[in-house]
Structure 1
């Protein structure tokens, strides 16, 4: 386990700035393993030691994994001067740590993973891993088996040709509903793939990333931590795709 400065641990838990948590320590408000801490720079192993702040235990977690149902109108970023971001929806102690794994367009809803585990994030986004991303979409126009075949071959766009994608037609007519699974995550990719055939995506929702599925109990804007089972599945999935 990693040893870290006490003031850094407290600040990372959202208890204040480094200056503010140093003042907390000097006031005698922090107890480590039954002893009042008097040095903000003392090194602790936060996962193993008992740390009390004003008598309340500090439940420290080094790694944070958050599953969110991203709502429309919110951007997949850690900060932005114009729009609300996905981390703005989180409690402060998570928001200061995590970043979104990949991006969903501002008007796209659905599954978004946020974490401070850079290695897992990199693996999930690496083209070499070919992690599937599955979307549900509503399309203005009729989607046909010809489109299914074209997606399966890879769609030629202006700047690149997509990898083969699985397109499933749920309903077809003046407006169609589909599921599409891609192994990339390029800018506006799903929308651009349909636009290549003169079709407009009117609604887009990501429902799966690798083995991780959108929790149907989460309303747009809601979130929860990953379960141990979900985290293990993700870790094993990227390891198996090496």
Structure 2
């Protein structure tokens, strides 16, 4: 791929704007030598105004989503793209969220511009486990774990029961829940179905990938071993 097209696809500007960057000498190699639009250079060796290029297509990143942000590009309020470099929302292929966390849910959110990878992670056939830390309005009754594990729980307006889920109480009004589906507001609706209300919800794990110590509102690129940790679950 020509450098002009590559840089434009990464969101640095239109092809016309990127061509102007070449004319102005803003595109160089790692040693500071000016590059030209027809040059063939490894992605890692390209600099824009002295800074390395953004990650190449095939990007998979993990974001620690705070409460109050939506997984959208069009919401009039705060969106998860506001937490990323501005160019990221202009990348082609599009950088998309892998599934969604609602506005009031925090935690581990995956984003990628690899459509095939997105499909593999979100496909119901993959049954990738997702773990949530839940704070509840009322105390646990004691039978929720059995109900969630039964594979017979029906949510309101649904026509098929949920797949078995694993509930681990962590306090009188708190629990850790692992599910393998991604139905609309599933965790909140599960607790509503057993007479409780979710006050706070945080996703801590997807597959074998944990959020770890990534600060709230921060992101980082995932490597191949971390991608495999998601898919191998």
The yes-or-no answer on 1:84 pairing with 2:78 is yes
CA offsets per residue over residues 201-240 of structure 1, 9 Å max, x none?
000000111111112x2232111222443133234x16xx
Alpha carbons of structure 1 residues 16 and 205: separation in structure 2 relative to 1, 3 Å: same
- Distance in structure 2 (CA, Å) of the matches to 1:222 and 1:184: 26
Structure 2 counterpart SS, 1:145: coil
Contact map agreement 1:89 1:221 (CA 8 A) in 2:
yes
> 2:221 is matched with which residue: 221, 225, 236?
225
- Distance in structure 1 (CA, Å) of the matches to 2:26 and 2:139: 65
Unpaired runs of 5+ in structure 2?
Answer: none
Matched pairs, number: 225
Using the TM superposition, give the Cα deviation of residue 10 of structure 1 relative to its aligned residue in structure 2, in angstroms. 1.6
Structure 1 counterpart SS, 2:154: coil
The yes-or-no answer on 1:161 pairing with 2:161 is yes
CA offsets per residue over residues 106-156 of structure 1, 9 Å max, x none?
000001011112222111110001100110001111213311111011321
- Distance in structure 1 (CA, Å) of the matches to 2:24 and 2:125: 52
CA offsets per residue over residues 167-188 of structure 1, 9 Å max, x none?
111112xxx1001111101111
The yes-or-no answer on 1:111 pairing with 2:108 is yes
Alpha carbons of structure 1 residues 143 and 53: separation in structure 2 relative to 1, 3 Å: closer
Matches within 5 A, 1:156-195: 156-157=154-155, 158-159=157-158, 160-172=160-172, 176-195=173-192
Partner of 1:205: 202
Using the TM superposition, give the Cα deviation of residue 161 of structure 1 relative to its aligned residue in structure 2, in angstroms. 1.4
Q: What TM-score does the superposition give when structure 1 sets the normalisation length?
A: 0.82
Unpaired runs of 5+ in structure 1?
Answer: none
- Distance in structure 2 (CA, Å) of the matches to 1:55 and 1:222: 23
> 2:89 is matched with which residue: 95, 102, 108?
95
Contact map agreement 1:144 1:169 (CA 8 A) in 2:
no
